[in-house]
Chains A and B, each alone.
Chain A
């Protein structure tokens, strides 16, 4: 087994925060510890920057227009019992009509929420896909991206029945997840092109090598056939190349 380089061994100890047995590495580890303690200074209060950062991030998510929806929400709250039962209703059930009606006006709590659940799962698949690309496991990465795209498609179908800001937000989010999935596919495509180019270059090199070998052997054969002078030509060949 190859001996590990001291800088790699030291790195392991620094990451594990343990002291090596080797006195040389132990002394370097102590220097690192001293340095780290010296650099770990107290940080001044940054409440204003923190608030600005959080508000700035939150501004990306548009607020739900509770004011505008106050009246329909009040009405919907009276139907909450019906809604809760109708959410599970499928075609043929007594409350299926109620569910479809609520879907149409965007008040069915399940619609946007279900779409968001699908998008959560799709985002999970994107994270899986990105990790798999890093690990160069492209087939599984492509499968993860495809699953994410299916999730996006289902979410979009649900969102078609929703309305208002929830619908817009959901569609925006679906667009982002879709783009991420397409990015993964594009990355895999590029990797495949590079891989194919490398393979083609390898094949071309092998073909060239075979051709040279064939030419060499036919040259040698000719020398032997012509008799006697083969050894002279062999010794002369490399000299000529030099």
Chain B
């Protein structure tokens, strides 16, 4: 779906079109959940943040005006703020590898695959432990939320160039860590 079609979907959802609302939920709910899970580390917290994000989206959508990076930046700013609120209410923002509970793995997977998937996510969390909070935020917005760097920049209130540089340095730091190098 191109940008113009997405704008039309947003407009229709804001004026009560059920199909468009379903489209927005199905497209963005998984991405918000993955972002929140990577930030908070616990399934229940991630589910709460995703549900709260869509409650805000529902309330604010008629007032939403498409500017710059558009819907994704707006939506993930909401999600990021809700993560912060969640932390203020007693949670923990960054799920370091010590506190990581991990994603829900469906029961229809083989035990080997379940272990592999859990380990893969744990490994990722361990990798991200070695980054600064800004580097981590860029990577989570890029690879958990699926934003491009322009959208991630708008969500973070940074310039796209700065975000691309953060991304580059973060990936270089992860590579160094994976190769057994010094901590970034």
Contacts and interface: CB of A to CB of B under 8 A. Distances in A.
A202 B14 CA distance: 43
Nearest to A123: B11
A56 B58 contact: yes
A127 B4 contact: yes
A35 B45 CA distance: 22
Given A35-B127, A60-B14, A49 B54 contact: yes
B8 A53 contact: no
Contacts, number: 132
B124 A35 contact: yes
Nearest to B109: A42
B67 to A, nearest CB: 8
Interface in A6-22: 6-8, 10-11, 14-15
Interface residues on B, range: 35 or more
A53 to B, nearest CB: 5
B175 A27 contact: yes
Interface in B46-104: 47, 50-51, 54, 57-58, 61-62, 65-66, 68, 102-104
A31 B26 CA distance: 28
A229 interface: no
Interface residues on A, range: 35 or more
A44 interface: yes
Interface in B1-46: 4, 7-8, 11, 13-18, 20-22, 25-26, 29-30, 33-34, 37-38, 43
Given A49-B54, A58-B18, A43 B164 contact: no
Nearest to B125: A38
Given A32-B171, A57-B21, A50 B148 contact: no
Contacts of B34: 39-41, 43
12 contacts: A7-B168, A15-B148, A31-B178, A35-B139, A38-B123, A41-B37, A46-B50, A49-B51, A53-B54, A53-B58, A127-B4, A127-B7
Given A123-B8, A127-B11, 19 more contacts: A5-B164, A10-B164, A28-B172, A35-B127, A35-B139, A35-B143, A35-B174, A38-B127, A41-B37, A42-B103, A49-B50, A54-B18, A54-B22, A56-B21, A57-B14, A57-B16, A58-B21, A61-B16, A131-B4
